[in-house]
Chain A
Amino acid sequence: MDLHHPHWGRTIFWGSLAALIYAAMFYYSDVILHMAHTTPAACVVGHGADAIYYHKPDAAACTALGGHIEPGVWWHVLIPILLAFLISFAHGAFTGLFWDVMGLKAASHAEKK
């Protein structure tokens, strides 16, 4: 580990940002899962983290299970796409610098002439 490495600042910045996005994702994971499951129409039985989702819902079967039908919202599909971009960018920048700061780098091939 090189404590005087010029990339320390950037490594900490991107690492904190990535951690923040991950924390937010898990904090709101119930909401995110709910949105993923209700991208197509779904029968939702139960609440929060314990909810069970049935796709291609059938009104009678859903009522029998004690659930309710939620119509699909297509744009929910954009959530994972956005998250993937965000995390990939921040975490990618962080890990790219991480090994460098740790002192690991690719070998170079030198020869004298």
Chain B
Amino acid sequence: MEITQFIELNAATVFLLVLIGFIGGMVSGFIGSGGAFVLTPAMMALGAPAIVAVASNICHKFPKALVGATKRHKYGQVDVKLGLILGLFAEFGMLAGKYLMVGIMRQFGKVGTDLYVSAIFIAVLAVVGTFVLRDYRKLRNAPQSDTHEVPRIARWVLAIDIPGTMMYFDAIKGRVSLLFVIPIGFATGLLASAIAVGGFIGVPAMIYILGVPALMASGTELVIAFVMGLGGTFLYGLEGAVDVRLSMLILLGSLFGIQLGAIGTTYVKDYQIKLVMAVIMLTVLFSRVFYVPGYLSQLGMISPIEHAHVATLKTLGDSVLAVALILGAITVLTALTKGIAEHRKADFARQLAEGMAAFAPSLGSLETGMRWKRILLATDGSEYSGGAIRVAASLAARNQARLLITSVAVYNPEYATTVPGLEQMALDMARRNVEAAAQSAGGIDHEIVVAEADDPYRGIVDTASEDHADVIVMGRRGKRGLARAMVGDATARVIGYAPCNVLVVPRGAQDCRQGILVATDGSRHGDAAARLAGQLALTWNLPLTVVSAVLASYNEQRRHEAVAAIDRVKAGLAGLPVTVTGVVAEGRPEQVILDQARKAGADFIVVGTHGRTGLDRLLMGSVAERVIGFADCPVLAVKI
């Protein structure tokens, strides 16, 4: 019989586990290497047997990997096929590793697995830590990131053609023999089964052996991590080694920490992150060294060491580990507070300058209507942003507005592993997007804002609110058939959370030149849309069509309400030099709006959306969503 006891939880251990999770998460969010290399030894230091520490660590990771993989897949940074194949063979590696671990446990007991895990930790951290240190020196001397270049080994691997084993992968845009892919997967799994961090092998191997671009490699690693984590939890769970309380307490702290660490990275230089990473890795390594003599002596591999000495060595090891964690926490928090203070100072200075500029004579004709002063163009660099760029540039010129061009560097350090310059790559890509958009927009006066966020919508919404944008102009992903009724996720969320109105422009659309159509249902959202549409018609000197849709099932009272809604808009614009036509038509609202726009020759539609909080898609309103999805011209989603 063998005993696999879970550690006893009391207030102190619970607090320590959450704290370790928090610091581990913060360090991992900051240096982007999974953090497990801090968590496993920390759990072991609290008394968890190695097998339980590894199993519980794996269990806390896989749902996060799934969320990360799904997100990154949306940005085209994941090769699912490669990830699944590597994941499948990683599973075999994991299985082999688990049998090795269980075998060692049966042969040598808990102390045997402790020695095995510690030895692998020391070896891996020594190699990876040295590489990271080298990266740090390279980055500090030449902080510019290189564009993706296929490494020499990868070029050789990709040139080899072994019939019957070749498979095409999107990530490398070519075929590679599975005989190279399988060992990578296996080794990743084998390592993960021992220390719960397979990415140390998986990511560099994908980059250097298969020639996968770094961003894609770190994204694809998440698929492997998920497959492996799920399988690993299952396998270790069958052995009764997963202590879910431990996993979830670590998760409780780590999710807070990861976000904080990830935010911290945006305030420091890339090489500083590398330095922190190398220092922490080497300190953790150093801490494990203290335990080894004790393990060896217990296993009878060296002459016995006195119990008191083993205990002293263990205390020393625990202290070094604690120092590593505290050092990491202090570094991240210092970087964060310093960075935020500097950022706020710069922001304040900018706002002050803008405030001064407001005293300059106004060029607009505010008295005749309204004018957008700050137009935020959000581009993702794809062809779908073409219409938005055209319309935003034209609107900026027409309104004499300031054009802000933004693209979001989608980057979550939590999921990155030891990839040099990952964040820089995301920033470079975003910068290229905004520069391309600025070039397409012509010589118009503009400002570039490269936002960093883990989700594009968040980056756009934050930029709009920080830069006080009056309107966000963005594209719409082209969809066919029924799927068009659903606006893309990013667009829907921007509309849901933006602090201002959002203009959604289809790919081929032009700026408004012929007429404006506004839909109103008599609600306060419809009224807000109608008010703004009236002001736009006045400013741009264009005819306005006001539409209200009624369904065949509506009774007389509701039909009267529709007419009254139109009359209200007309009354509001009475006496002003704007042509208003009111139409009450029967049919589904979105169909009526689109039909009437065509009939009236309107090339700009204004619709109301619901409030700014709550569930984005539901509150955007299904009519607004369908109109945005199907319209061929720009649609302005008006928020209250």
Residue positions of A touching B, CB distance < 8 A: 6-7, 9-10, 22, 25-26, 29, 32-33, 36-40, 42-43, 52-58, 61-62, 74, 76-77, 79-81, 83-85, 87-89, 91-92, 94-96, 98-99, 104-113
Contacts and interface: CB of A to CB of B under 8 A. Distances in A.
Contact of B251 (A10, A40, A79, A91): A91
A84 B63 contact: yes
A36 B255 contact: no
Nearest to B613: A6
7 contacts: A22-B252, A29-B9, A92-B64, A99-B263, A106-B266, A109-B452, A113-B447
A54 B2 CA distance: 5
Contacts of A38: 240
Contacts, number: 167
Contact of A113 (B260, B438, B466): B438
A36 B62 contact: no
A33 B247 CA distance: 13
A55 B2 contact: yes
Contacts of A92: 63-64, 67, 255
A42 B340 CA distance: 54
Contact of A99 (B251, B260, B445, B463): B260
Interface in B481-531: 497
State which size class the interface on B falls in: 35 or more
Contact of A108 (B248, B251, B438, B449): B449
A26 B561 CA distance: 56
**Chain B binding surface SS class:** helix
A105 B462 contact: yes
A53 B256 contact: no
Nearest to A110: B449
Indicate the member of B255, B339, B466 with the most A CB atoms within 10 Å.
Answer: B255
A62 B1 contact: yes
Nearest to B4: A55
B239 A40 contact: yes
Contact of A40 (B238, B263, B497): B238
Interface in B1-46: 1-6, 9
Interface in B445-467: 445-453, 459, 462-463, 466-467
Contact of B242 (A36, A52, A112): A36
Contacts of A9: 613-614
Interface in B591-630: 612-614
A109 B244 contact: no
A9 B238 CA distance: 40
Given A36-B237, A106-B452, A113-B446, A55 B613 contact: no
Nearest to B446: A113
B109 to A, nearest CB: 13
A53 B234 contact: no
B243 A95 contact: no
